[in-house]
Amino acid sequence: MKTINNPEKATWSDILQRPTQTVNDIEATVTQIFEDVQRNGDQAVAKYTQLFDGAELKTNIVTVEEIETASAKVSKPLKEAIQQAKSNIEAFHTAQKTEKVSVQTTEGVNCWQEKRAIQKVGIYIPAGTAPLFSTVLMLAVPAQIAGCKEIVLCSPPNKEGKIANEILYAAQLCGVTKIIKVGGIQAIAGLTFGTASIPQVYKIFGPGNQFVTVAKQLSTKYGVAIDMPAGPSELLVVADDTANASYVASDLLSQAEHGADSQVILVSTSQKLIDAVAEEIQLQLKALPRQDIAQQAIDNSKSILVETDAIALDLINQYGPEHFIVCTDNNDFYVDGIENAGSVFIGNYTPESAGDYASGTNHTLPTNGFSKAYSGVNLDSFTKAITFQNITKQGLLNIGNTIELMAEAEGLQAHKNAVTIRLNDLK
């Protein structure tokens, strides 16, 4: 990691820049595949599955028998771990349910708001070097709690035409209604337009590579919502001499192993701590199976030395990290002052991995600075808020003239007339 000492504020934007990617060629590819899937449906999907995943499938729908066979191959200890994680995720997301909000704004004018589940949602689960069955829990559990009627899961098959056993086990455990063996751009296109085998959905969730990310963004042009803009995973740790250097190093590496384009940043008021963490990173790297990937991410990451906690907090809020770990003598200062972060992990014994798997919070979070305006996935991500109003005769008499005056001032005579015709009957 490159160490930067007391950088001037004017340089922060350059220092905190995310890994950049050229998307022009990606957009052209995504658009081409979208148009093909829109025209040719499953035929196009099968073509790209064979091209990109090397799998030639008779059907891309996962059967009940396949799920049962896969589930039987998952070890009992892992099943118990998945079930415990599911229980914690359920507890945290169930607690997010809100009651109907009702108020009489004026005598006779009754307004209220109720939540309704999004009927059809699509969940994208990457496979590749790390089949993310934990993401099945993070997305399917709140979808089920919210009451979504259709939960469609897409995940790329391997060359044998199979999806990871753990993904299939987690999917059936969490109420997924349909599982499709399809990945990449063609999966997002299928969920966007619908095909004979892939149901069309109203909102798409889940992480993916840069092709999937651009595909999700393109799907919004066709009226499909997405969870959030996403990019490479990222972690920022603020730590001082009270932190355990080996713990900090392990957290930085846990994010670095996601991918070569992951970004990890250490901010500290202590050069001693920065040096100790650098040593620990090199020691721990040697034991990682994904050492090469983690090393590339670490090479592109930074340690930033600052003079005070106040400067550190200002810098962190400007960055807006996806994951934010606080290990200092002044944790409350950071917890109370953080404004831009996807998820916050406090103290020496709260590793970011806990949020990734089993503490109960959701790990689908805004990256690339989008935490300045976006929340991570939560129960409300799977619902819409619908407002209702019921106005009595007296209520319309109380606010009718106000509506008439405002409508007339805006030049919308029909709006005014809709009130006037009623008021005339009440007089």
Active-site position among 93, 323, 352, 363:
323
Is 93 within a domain?
yes
Query: Which parts are annotated binding residues?
Result: 124, 186, 209, 233, 255, 258, 323, 356, 410, 415
For residue 14, how far is the Cα from the chain centroid? 26
Residues 128-165: b if buried by 16+ CB within 10 A, e if exposed: eeebbbbbbbbbbbbbbbbebebbbbbbbbeeebbbbb
33 and 169 co-located in one domain? yes
Task: Using the structure block, give the residue that is written with the tokens 């059967």.
Answer: 63
CA–CA distance, 212 with 29 (Å, rounded to integer): 11
DSSP letter string over 95-114?
TT--PPEEEEEETTEEEEEE
Reply yes or no on whether 323 is catalytic. yes
Per-residue pLDDT at 191:
98
**Are residues 339 and 420 both part of a single domain?**
no
The DSSP code for 241 is: T
Give yes or no: residues 84 and 132 share one domain.
yes
Q: Is the residue at 107 inside a domain?
A: no
Within this chain, do residues 52 and 170 fall inside the same structural domain, yes or no?
Answer: yes
Q: 308 lies in which domain range?
A: 2-19+232-360
Using DSSP's 3-state secondary structure scheme, residue 151 falls into strand
Phi-psi region of 318 (alpha: psi -120 to 50; beta: other; left: phi over 0): alpha
Residue 346 pLDDT = 98
6 lies in the same domain as 38 = no
| Gap between the Cα atoms of 368 and 230, Å rounded | 7
Residues paired with 117 in a beta bridge:
383
- Asked whether residue 212 falls in the same domain as residue 262, the answer is no
| 280 within some domain | yes
Q: Would you say 256 and 298 are in contact if contact means Cβ atoms under 8 Å apart?
A: yes
Domain check: are 32 and 162 in the same one? yes
- Name the residue among 371, 367, 297, 379 with its Cα closest to residue 341: 371
CATH code for position 49: 3.40.50.1980
Provide the annotated binding site for NAD(+): 124, 186, 209
The SS3 of residue 115 is: strand
Residue 108 CA to residue 194 CA, distance in Å, equals 45
Question: Given 171, 203, 226, which residue is the final one in a domain?
Answer: 226
Task: With respect to residue 87, please indicate whether it lies within any of the assigned structural domains.
Answer: yes
User: Which parts of 128-250 are beta strand (E)?
Assistant: 150-155, 178-181, 203-205, 225-226, 234-239
Looking up tokens 């709006």 gives 415
Q: State the CATH number of the domain containing residue 412.
A: 1.20.5.1300
| Closest C-alpha to 264, from 302, 224, 229, 227 | 302
Q: What is the DSSP letter of 368?
A: T
Q: Are 281 and 237 in contact (CB under 8 A)?
A: no
Do 38 and 169 lie in one domain? The reply is yes
Question: What sections of 202-361 are H helices per DSSP?
Answer: 210-219, 245-256, 271-285, 291-299, 309-319, 331-337, 352-357
Cβ of 25: how many Cβ atoms within 10 Å? Answer: 8
From the CB of residue 198, how many other CB atoms can be counted at a distance below 10 Å? 26
The contacts of residue 80 (CB under 8 Å, 6+ apart) are: none
Q: 76: burial class by Cβ within 10 Å (0-12, 13-18, 19+)? A: exposed
Residues 6+ apart with CB under 8 A from 83: 173
Dist. CA 294–CA 303, nearest whole Å? 16
Domain boundary among 318, 341, 360: 360
Beta strands, E only, 107-227: 109-117, 120-124, 150-155, 178-181, 203-205, 225-226
pTM of the model: 0.94
The 10s digit of each residue's pLDDT in 222-235 is: 999 999 987 788 99
3-state secondary structure string across 49-88: HHHHHCCCCCCCECCHHHHHHHHHCCCHHHHHHHHHHHHH
For the chain, the domain total comes to 3
Which residue among 322, 352, 404, 408 is the active-site one?
Answer: 322
Output phi, psi for 344, to 5 deg: -115, 135
Residue 318 and residue 268 share a domain: yes
Answer yes or no: do 309 and 416 share one domain: no
Which pLDDT value is given to residue 23? Answer: 65
Which parts of the chain sit beneath pLDDT 70? 20-23, 128-129
Q: Walk across the sheet containing 234-239 and list its strands.
A: 2-5, 302-305, 263-268, 234-239, 323-327, 343-346
pLDDT in tens, 156-184: 999 999 999 999 999 999 999 999 999 99
Assess whether 322 carries a catalytic annotation. Answer: yes
Separation of alpha carbons 266 and 236, rounded Å = 6
Domain end point (choices 226, 255, 278): 226
